[in-house]
Amino acid sequence: MVTMPRREFIFSSAATLAAFSANFAQASPSRSGETLIPWLDQPPPGADPCCTTPMLWENFDQWITPNEKIFTVHHFDWPVIDAAGWKLEIDGLVNNPMTLTLDDIKARPSQDVMFTLECSGNHGFPDFTTAIGNAEWVGTSLASILEEAGVKGDGIEVAFWGNDVGDITLKDAIRDVAMHQNFARSMSLADAMSPHNILCHTMNDQPLSPAHGFPVRLIAPGWYGIANVKWLKRIEIRDTRFQSLLMARDYVTIREERHNGETVRAETSVGRTRLKSAPGRVTNHADGLRISGAAWGQPIDHVEVQIDDGPWVKAFIDWDELAGKSVDYAWVFWQLDWPDATPGEHRITSRAFDKTGNMQPAMDDPLITGKHTYWESNGQITRIVVIA
Ligand SMILES: Nc1nc2c(c(=O)[nH]1)N[C@H]1C(S)=C(S)[C@@H](COP(=O)(O)O)O[C@H]1N2
Ligand SMILES: [Mo]
């Protein structure tokens, strides 16, 4: 496994569990009077000052994660942006370049999406496991703005530039270049035109905080965190693929694949979210023990749980409670009652299945064992618990 470039990767999350408004109280997996049985394999808090979070999986006890409990990742310093002076340029290969203020964006038709944002590095390291959160994001359609700007025929790529900048030295076999550069990511025009993508200004009924991209960020449901560019500055249409630091050198997955009896190495830019699940908490209650967790990344069909080397058992998902809510890009919570738990140490593993029949890969699946980088770690997760 490759070591994470910790210096470039600053992780934080507020320790306080703030009180949360009643309209977000739904889909709590808690039973009144239950007690939490802590995991034995708890990531050591504070093990790494830049990448450890005080947040634990046990604390994901609401379907919508309160803003205060959502992780944040930034590669450069947070830009301090004055809303009054901020503007977003839409330029490059367009017929009508545009400059939008925050008021312009808020005045446009608004749409919302429930989307579970996950850092593609999540679970790539033992102490980096809660870089995920589910929120309701509100903004305006990106596609409608691109249509209004009128993309020219040779425009194939949409680059999203952030206001944050850093000094990066590239050193590899062919380059040794130091440069000051913006955070930037791109998408194909076809991907950018998805009707779900929004220029987002509101997160769980609050204006975006400085940490989460104030005043406006891209929210691209179905894409890993890195695609969701914060502190937007400019959206540029180009006629070639865009090979920025965070597209083509960092955030690249290297995976061995078999082709015609040969092993080939595929290098791909971190992209769409992958099918994943995790055991979240084990609780004790007068009614008995219960294991609960979450599944996300692709539209979920069902989740199975294995205790020690026992059979895989289908977990319960309360689809009735989720009815009417848009869950295609949001996690679902699952539960399994565990009446026959014996005292001692137990291993709990979950695996998710999506609506097209794919299964979350096991840790010994070549998809996972052939992966040589920590990004996109969606292998099955095993947690350890001790029953008294
Ligand atoms: N401009 C900008 N956008 C960014 C980043 C960044 O460093 N700068 N980090 C990305 C990464 S790696 C992740 S996981 C998400 C995290 O979003 P959050 O901090 O709102 O949770 O933002 C993405 N967007
Ligand atoms: Mo990330």
Domain locations along the chain: 1-388
pLDDT at 249: 87
By the 10 Å C-beta count (0-12 exposed, 13-18 middle, 19+ buried), 259 is classed as exposed
* Residue ranges of E strands in 59-131: 72-74, 88-92, 98-100, 111-118
User: Which residue, judged by its Cα, is nearest atom 18 of ligand 1?
Assistant: 72
Q: What is the pLDDT of residues 84-93, one digit of tens each?
A: 999 999 999 9
What span, in angstroms and rounded, lies between the C-alpha atoms of 168 and 249? 12
CA 322 to ligand 2 centroid distance, Å: 27
| pLDDT tops 50 at residue 9 | no
Q: Does domain 1-388 have CATH number 3.30.1360.30?
A: no
User: Which residue, judged by its Cα, is nearest atom 17 of ligand 1?
Assistant: 72
Q: What is the pLDDT of residues 191-225, one digit of tens each?
A: 999 999 999 999 999 999 999 999 999 999 999 99
Ligand nearest to the CA of 377: 2
| All residues with CB under 5 Å from ion ligand 2 | 73, 119, 225-226
The CB-side HSE value for 33 (13 A sphere, CA atoms) comes to 4
| pLDDT tops 90 at residue 8 | no
- CB within 8 Å of 292: residues ≥ 6 apart: 29, 279, 280, 281, 283, 333, 334, 335, 336
Task: Count other C-beta atoms under 10 Å from residue 235's C-beta.
Answer: 26
Ligand nearest to the CA of 229: 1
CA 213 to ligand 1 centroid distance, Å: 8
User: Which residue, judged by its Cα, is nearest atom 2 of ligand 1?
Assistant: 230
The stretch 253-268 carries a mean pLDDT of: 95
User: Which residue, judged by its Cα, is nearest atom 5 of ligand 1?
Assistant: 74
| pLDDT tops 50 at residue 4 | no
DSSP 243: -
